[in-house]
Amino acid sequence: MRLVYAAILIAAFLSGCASTGDWSSDTPTKTNPRASKAARVNLKKQSVSTIYAPSSNLWIRIRDGFEMEPSNSPWEGEQLRLLTAKPEYVNRSMARSSRYLFYIVQEVNARGMPTEIALLPFVESAFNPQAKSGAKAMGIWQFMPATGKDFQLTQNIFRDERRDVLQSTDAALDYLQRLHDQFGTWELALAAYNWGAGNIAKAQKKNLAAGLPTDYESLQLPKETRNYVPKLMAYRQIVLDPGAYGVTLPDLENHPYFVAVDVGSDIDVALVIKLAEIPAEEFHVLNPSFNKPVILSAAGQQILLPFGHAEIFQENLKNYSKPLSSWTAVQVGKTESADQTAKTLGVDPDVLRDVNGIPKGMRIKAGSTVIIPRNSRRLGDISANLADNASLSLEKPPPPPPPLPKCSKPTKGAKGSKAAKDSKCTPPKSDKDASKVASKGNSSVKTASTQHKSESTVVAKSAKNGNAKPSTKKEASKTQ
């Protein structure tokens, strides 16, 4: 019987009556299918401290599961040299991994995969759950938006499951297994995880056409992909013999770091932190997928809590009699400014902007979902439709119309006078009017030019015939 310790799921739900402080382990709840794999412990009947693991040291378990063979290539040597030149960076990454490694190793073992795969987040993100690449890849496994959607990782205003520890790990291992089935080796599967399956297939086809081998080391790969597997193998070598490379591995018991708790009623993030008696930072590194200050029951979400604090959370929740959530969500009916929306909804505009991340000056587009404080008119939990499909779209307001000319006030008693007439405002002429004026002006110039030309012709003819007339007043006087 396979033991699953990674995310012990407490069979305790924030049920509909949880707002009164009740905690029920008997009420069925909607859960994510991935979460159903986790073992459950009923804290009313069992103690978390009774859960045991077969080995006291997780690093030993990881080493025992290594299956990939080092190639001893120059690329591996270079990656090992680069990592050991930055021991502080490696030590920080190792320390961050301590929260997640047990769960990942447990899932890797369950699938019969080599435990080198559990070290892949060192390469992808240095085990930073908030890591975001320039290409918008997110989380410890660095899922791109499109790939995340392919593996049913929800991405909306409430949560981004590419950062969810449980969901993204399960999706990443599914993806890697698929790639291994397609390409036949873990080296090629890892290269495809980094560069894309289509690109690896094209590189193999090119080698086949040239009569060359199609293994990982024989393919023409971009620099990042060429160094991808060697970097993983460098971490493998560090885990095998950390002392030789000046690295200190954190003490890791072969034991779950966190416990997963189902959410049966909307609950504020701040309240979970308070009732679990943990620092806010600890909550967020375990639950990096939550984008808003409320956790939704309709989304089938789970809360990860440090192993020793799940019972504290349960006990404090039993004694908590106030509402669990102070937030709700609504859809905006028409496009308007945040100030107008706030007035319509009866909320403070600064609160609306802050909780929804709306920059000043931007308008909220019709159909968008916004988070607002609960009130007597909106007491229910956020609906499943909004929990799964909510989005927020913003736009810049249209440019303002040109300002009207300033008019001077007429002098008192000057009615009908020239000053009164001058004080009247003449509206600015449109481009069409201006073009007419210009056209008229050009016509006048053209007419004058024509007339001048005609007169010159007449004078020239008269001079030829000896009948020239004086063309100026000065000449006229001389003739007289």
Q: Which residues are catalytic?
A: 124
Q: Which amino acid is at 339?
A: D
User: What are phi and psi for residue 188, nearest 5 degrees?
Assistant: -70, -35
Alpha helices in 196-298, H assignment, sequence order: 197-209, 223-226, 228-240, 269-276, 280-286
Of residues 114, 108, 110, 101, the one with CA closest to residue 3: 110
* Distance of alpha carbon 459 from alpha carbon 262, whole angstroms: 107
Q: Which amino acid is at 276?
A: A
Q: Determine the straight-line distance between the first and last CA of the chain, rounded to whole angstroms.
A: 136
Sole residue written with tokens 């399956």: 197
Helix axes 269-276, 310-318, angle to 10 degrees: 110
* Distance of alpha carbon 354 from alpha carbon 331, whole angstroms: 17
The DSSP annotation for 373-435 comes to E-BTTB-SPPPHHHHHH----EEPPPPPPPPPPP-PPPPTT-TTSHHHHHHSPPPPPPHHHHH
Helix axes 74-84, 87-97, angle to 10 degrees: 90
